[in-house]
Amino acid sequence: MVPQQENGWKLEVLHNIKFTRARGNTDVATPSADEPTYCNVHYSKAQRPGSKQPAASNRRSGVTSERVALLVLSVLLAAAVTALGVTLYENTQTMKSLQKLQDEAKNLTEILSKTEPCKVEQPCKPPSVRDEACPRCEDGWEPHGGKCYFFSLFTLTWDQSRTECTSMRGDLVVINNREEQEFLESRLSEKMETAEDKFWIGLTDSENEGEWLWVDNTRLDTSRTFWLLNEPDNWRWKNYDGEDCVRMGVKNGAKDLKIWSDESCNSPQKSVCEKPEKACP
């Protein structure tokens, strides 16, 4: 057998030669033309020089990379589907919220359309709202008729009481009309504890006897007076100087509003202060 290589194929030639002796000569062995000669030729693929056959590990690595890539794509697809589902859910909730708001707005419109406008005698804006936004009087002062009133519970002389009022940027009360007298009479009847528990007002004749002046220097209008019976009497039993200042109050009130009386200016009494309401912007 003689191996040969040609074009990447290895050629194996097997010669099977059968020899027979020639007739008449037994010493020399020569092939007979009558007998066939056999030759077996086998071809096998040989590895070309410089070429490398892929290893099994490389094939396995290729398969593993394909699986990893497929797994990554699957994860990304699942994430995309999840994100899409969340977005659709949020959009659905948003649409429901918008629909709910539209329904509420429609209901509110229907309610407002059925609401009657405010009447003239009933203000649209409650007074309490205005008071909270812009308080007309300071703490401790009561608003009424464009003024603020302070009912002092300290018993002081008339001059001391007036000083107390002016220290709070006010003065002893000046009564200008019957309506104001009604308000003060009602409030004092609630605050008085005894019959002598009365309050100074800003009226005096200390400069000229019988000439009654308010603390704002206006003269007392005799058509708008609220003297008790037989008052003023300028009684000198307590004080030789007489009674030159005015106090007011009747426990449990008086229907005719006549609750003024003159008293010694040095007598300790409670008092009523007043000042204008604070202007709101």
Does residue 24 register a pLDDT over 50? no
Task: Give first-to-last CA distance, the chain, whole Å.
Answer: 128
Element (H or E) spanning 263, and its range?
strand 260-263
3 state DSSP class of 153: strand
- Give residue limits of the domains in the chain: 2-45, 137-276
Yes or no: say if 203 and 246 are a contact pair by the CB < 8 Å rule: yes
The beta strand positions in 157-228, using DSSP E, are 171-172, 199-204, 213-214
Yes or no: say if 272 and 199 are a contact pair by the CB < 8 Å rule: yes
Average pLDDT on 110-130 reads 55
* Omega of the bond leading into 232 within 30 degrees of 0 (cis): yes
- The sign one gets for the Cα dihedral 178, 179, 184, 185 is positive
Q: 137-276 belongs to which CATH class? A: alpha beta
Average pLDDT on 160-179 reads 96
Tens-place pLDDT, residues 58-100: 566 666 888 888 888 888 888 888 888 778 888 788 788 778 7
Report CA 180 to chain centroid distance, whole Å: 45
Q: How many CB atoms lie within 10 A of CB 270?
A: 20
Average pLDDT on 13-37 reads 47
At residue 2, the pLDDT reads: 47
**What single letter denotes the amino acid at residue 197?**
D
